[in-house]
Amino acid sequence: MEVLDIACSGSVIAAALSDGSVRLFHCEDGRMSPAGALLGHGGPVTAVAFATPQLLITVSSDGIRELALPHGGGDTTQPQPR
């Protein structure tokens, strides 16, 4: 894991990885469970930040992306540009 951010709701964590993916995890009752992956970045993801619980901003070698997340913040395999 390179960097991570937690949604303001505290229920979703985004972990940016050097393989160009962002892994999402649901947090509930002190436990984490996988919620999905955002793939397709052109290189290592060097920054990740939630703008809102459903909007994630990522930075990689191919630029800055705003990604709309499904309700609940996960369960997708491709970035959904906003």
Residues 6+ apart with CB under 8 A from 3: 15, 16, 45, 46, 47, 48
In this structure, is residue 76 part of a structural domain?
no
In this structure, is residue 16 part of a structural domain?
yes
Please give the chain's pLDDT, 82 residues, in tens. Answer: 578 788 877 888 899 888 888 999 988 888 889 988 888 888 888 889 998 878 888 888 888 988 887 655 444 444 455 4
pLDDT of residue 74: 46
For the beta sheet containing 22-28, the strands, ordered from the edge strand earlier in sequence to the opposite edge, are 3-6, 12-16, 22-28, 31-38
In this structure, is residue 74 part of a structural domain?
no
Containing structural domain, residue 13: 3-68
In this structure, is residue 20 part of a structural domain?
yes
Structurally, the chain folds into a number of domains equal to 1
Q: Report the alpha-carbon distance of residue 62 to residue 71 in Å, rounded.
A: 26
pTM exceeds 0.85 for this model: no
Cβ–Cβ < 8 Å for 68, 75: no
CATH code for position 9: 2.40.10
